[in-house]
Every structure is written in structure tokens, then in C-alpha cells.
Structure 1
Amino acid sequence: MELSDADFGRLSQFIYTTAGIKMPPAKRIMLQSRLQKRLRALNINDFKTYADYVLSDGGGDEIIHMLDVVSTNKTDFFREPVHFEFMKEVVLPEFYSKPGNQRINVWSAGCSSGEEPYTIGIVISEFNQGFPGRDFLILGTDLSTRILQAATNAVYKEERVEGIPLELKKRYFLRSKDREHPTVRIVPELRRHMQFRRLNFMDANYPVSESFDVVFCRNVLIYFDRKTQEEVIRKLCGKLKIGGYFFLGHSESIMNMNLPLKPIKPTIFRRV
């Protein structure tokens, strides 16, 4: 099966309009490869028929499956550690020092398979040791239902946590008994602070009722064009409290964007 230029154009434009993900011509072979499993699952023999189906009124459920396979999900525990150091040294001491602040709300927007929100949870849990009554909520959202299920399951190959200090692994990860295929799972005490939901950055309004003290949106916006990036960040800022902190990925920039964010350090901003 081969994805023709015409059908690639139809699908790539639809993916961009629906999810904001850019699909330049250089990604035609990648899209073809990733969508072949969807054609097999639906018993469809060519990409034109598949494109007709997705773009028809009856293709609604398949749109979610298609976006699942085309979205990129690359992440690690404690990725870009300077942000977690800033959380520990600045954000958390400042937040909990204010009278009445007992629960910090953090949004991991584009959470992938959960490594980022669980890392945030570990940092907050470590900071809160010895302070009963302190609490936190972490919301993880992503476009992919498949990857959100992985985040909810919180099971990872043991090699994924090799770089984490031993004392943290002992406190926050349970080892499987299967030593041929060793895995770890986040402890229930940490999982109970997490909520995972599907969210499309291209939605006009984000169905999130909470307001947040911290928003992480890292290494997600690189897949969008500049105009879409600004629109997404503006909507995220609408859920961020005045004075709250916003973290971007180190390869991303908001230079020359009209946003209610004040730079604090490279890729660290404050809502104004």
C-alpha cells in the first residue's frame, strides 16, 4: 500500500486543522507507515478509501485512532532537570510559605506516557516530607488516548528509571517479579494525586475547570506553527493563576509573542 501525494495532502491538511500538527511532504513515508496498522484494523486495502472514510461523517471514532498513531510521544523521567530544581528551590518554598496555601495544582499539558507528571509528583512529595496536611494535584493531558492509558497504568520498563537515584526508586517505584521482562510501577500513594484526561490543543475552549499554580508545556509546541503556538499558550495561560509559573521546553521560545508572561529565567515564565 502506498500513500499517494493527493491522499497525503488530504490527510495532512485534516491533521493540521484538527490537531495543529504540521505534516510537511517529508513526513509522507512516516505517515504511510504509521497508518498502515489502522488500515489493517479496519480491513481497508488502500489509503484513498481510508481517507474517504476518515473525512466522512461516519469517521469520527477513527479520527481519535488516527491522531493516536500520528502524535509523537518522547519523554523521560527528570527530563530537563533545571526545571525541577527551580520547582524545589523557588516555586514550592514560595507557594507553601503563603498563609492558606495547602494544595498546589500543577498541569502537565502534553504529558505523554506520564513521566513528566510523575516526576513533578516526586519532587513535590520529597519537598513535603515532614509537613502533614500539604497536598497537591497534578493534571496530565494529551491528545493520544493510547498514551494516556499508559500514563494511567504507570508501568515502565526498568531501564527507563536507571538514572533516578536509588533512594527515590525505593520510595516511588514498585519492581515487578518478572525478572525476564523487568518493569516498575509508580506507587499508589503517588498515583492518587494524578488525573489524566484527553485534550486537543486545537479546541476553542479547554474543558478544564481547575485553575493552576504551575503549568508545564514542554517540547510539545515544536510540532505547531508560530501562530498556533501563541494561541495554545494564551489558552493555557487562561487557566494559570496570576503569579503562577509557566515552563517551556528548552527548544521552544515565546519571543515576540503577545502573552501575559514575564520571563524569569530561560524557558521559565510568570503569569502577569
Structure 2
Amino acid sequence: MTLTNKDLDIKITNAEFERFRDFFYRKTGIRFEDSKRYFVDKRLVDRVKKTGAHSFRDYFTAMRFQASGAELQELINIMTVNETYFFREAHQFDCMVEELLDEIVTTQQKKELKIWSIPSSTGEEPYSIAIYLMERWPSIERVDIELMSSDIDSSVLEKAKAGIFNERSVQNLGPSLKKKYFTKTEHGLYQATDDLRSCVHFSKVNLNEQKDMQKYRDIDLIFCRNVLIYFDDVSRRNAAEALYDALAPGGFIFLGHSESMSRISSLFKVRKFKEALAYQKPIA
């Protein structure tokens, strides 16, 4: 009888786990703590079996030297967490339309603004931004907005572009907004309208890759929420510097409620608005 790799009991040694953890950290800036070992091992073993490799060592070697990088992208997709919903931490959206954008337009006399949501996850955040702008910001009629959203995970980007959401994702939207910006599918899901989906340009970006980040400059407002908590101190500082370079002078960044730029970098000025805290790149 011939055994296939699906019949093999794939084990990952401590040394192999360390090698993978270091490799994944170098590629993404994300470091897995020991407490995540079961989570990581389970997903790695699954990929070993699905690719037909007979050991983790064979799989790891093939993955690292694969010219296309497709298997590394598969790993990134299954190892990153994508949990979100519409109007999450809505006080920051309130701040955006009630104070922050008006300040930028008034003080800098801008007629065009760039807003960037990273990570995009499955699209709830960038589409929330678009809805807020169209519903709550009067100046949308006279200011052009370029709304971009990026993620390291290619699979969630495809979901974001498709714009199909379950009931939990849209639970914070009132009936009128659901009716205006979504159509109900035959499976009871919510499909974002063509007009809403056309508001956002999606792209794959790794915060830890300099060549990715160099493409983004002169951004007026960045939403970078609940991602830096997965980085270690070095990666957080590198990401903060990359985000600083991406901002236009006088531009702002929002972080997640448990994150603090003040503990990461001294480059930014802390700004306390009525609804939320933001971090500003000083105007030279």
C-alpha cells in the first residue's frame, strides 16, 4: 500500500517553528508569539498536505524558493486575521466629517484630498468611509476625493472588491442606508451597489515592504487601525516611519483604540479633536 502525504503525521519541530516564525516576520513584520503556536502549526500542516509535500522541511524549502511567491501569499492569507464590520469605531468617522477634513481643506486650501484605508480587510472600513463622506460631509460637492484601500491578503481584497456582506457586517447600518447602498441577494446577503464599489480603489500592499509603501505619497488621511498591535517594536517603528512618509505635510492618521503612536514614534503631533484622537504630520 502506498501512503500519500495526507496519510502522514506531519510534525513541526521547535527549530522549524523558529525558522518559519523568523522568515514570516522578515516578510510581513508580524511575529507570532509562543501562545499562537497551535494556530500557526495547524495552518502550516494544512498547507504542507495541500501542496503534496512530505515534510515541513520540504514544504518550507519549496515555498521560500518559489519564483512566483504564490505559496507565500497563501500563507499570508491564512495567517492574517480579518475581523471587521461597518461603522466600527464610528467616533473616528464622526471626527473625519465634522472636524478633521474641514481643517485640512480650510488651512491648506485643498480642492483634492487623498484618503487611504490600510488594511482594507474585506472592505467594511473603506466602504464605511465612502458612505460617511457621501452622507455626512457637505464639502463632498466641491472637493474631489481619492479613496484608496490596501491589504497584504489577496483573498480579502477580492472579497472587498466584490462587496458582498453578511448580516453581522451591516448590523450597524440603518434600514435607509442598507436600502440606498446595498441590494439583497437571493442568499440573504448584502451586495454593495456599483456606485459604492466604484468609490474605492483596492490594491495589495505590505506595510513592511519599502517598495510597496513608496507608491503612496501625499495622503491627507490614513486609517491604519488594529494592525500595528500584531507587530513587534522594530516593525512598528518601521511602519510608523513609512506611514509618516506617505502622509502629506499636515496630514493625519487614525489608529485603533488600543494603539498609541506616541509609544511608537515621536514624529507625529498628537491632536485631540472633539470626537477622537488623531496623529498629525507637522507642516514644515
CA drift of 1:129 comes to 5.7
- Find the partner of 1:136 among 133, 145, 162: 145
| One-letter amino acid of the counterpart of residue 263, structure 1 | V
- C-alpha spacing 1:256/1:128, structure 2 compared with 1 (3 Å): closer
Taking structure 1 as the reference length, the TM-score comes to 0.90
For residues 94-243 of structure 1, the aligned pairs below 5 Å read: 94-97=103-106, 101-128=110-137, 132-176=141-185, 178=186, 181-205=187-211, 206-243=213-250
Provide the C-alpha distance between the structure 1 equivalents of 2:232 and 2:140, rounded to a whole number of angstroms: 44
Is structure 2 residue 67 aligned with structure 1 residue 67? Answer: no
Give aligned-pair identity as a percent.
29
Provide the C-alpha distance between the structure 1 equivalents of 2:47 and 2:90, rounded to a whole number of angstroms: 37
Range with greater deviation from structure 2 (217-226 or 46-55): 46-55
Provide the C-alpha distance between the structure 1 equivalents of 2:214 and 2:180, rounded to a whole number of angstroms: 34
Provide the C-alpha distance between the structure 2 equivalents of 1:258 and 1:221, rounded to a whole number of angstroms: 12
Provide the C-alpha distance between the structure 2 equivalents of 1:243 and 1:207, rounded to a whole number of angstroms: 19
- Find the partner of 2:271 among 261, 264, 271: 264
Deviations 1:147-195 (A, max 9, x none): 111111111113321221222212211211x1xx311111111211211
Q: Which residue of 2 aligns with 1:249?
A: 256
- C-alpha spacing 1:269/1:252, structure 2 compared with 1 (3 Å): same
Provide the C-alpha distance between the structure 2 equivalents of 1:228 and 1:131, rounded to a whole number of angstroms: 36
Taking structure 2 as the reference length, the TM-score comes to 0.87
Provide the C-alpha distance between the structure 2 equivalents of 1:184 and 1:257, rounded to a whole number of angstroms: 38
Deviations 1:86-110 (A, max 9, x none): 0121023334556863332101111
Provide the C-alpha distance between the structure 2 equivalents of 1:45 and 1:225, rounded to a whole number of angstroms: 33
Residues 78 and 116 in structure 1, CA contact (< 8 A), matched pair in contact too: yes
Provide the C-alpha distance between the structure 2 equivalents of 1:167 and 1:98, rounded to a whole number of angstroms: 34
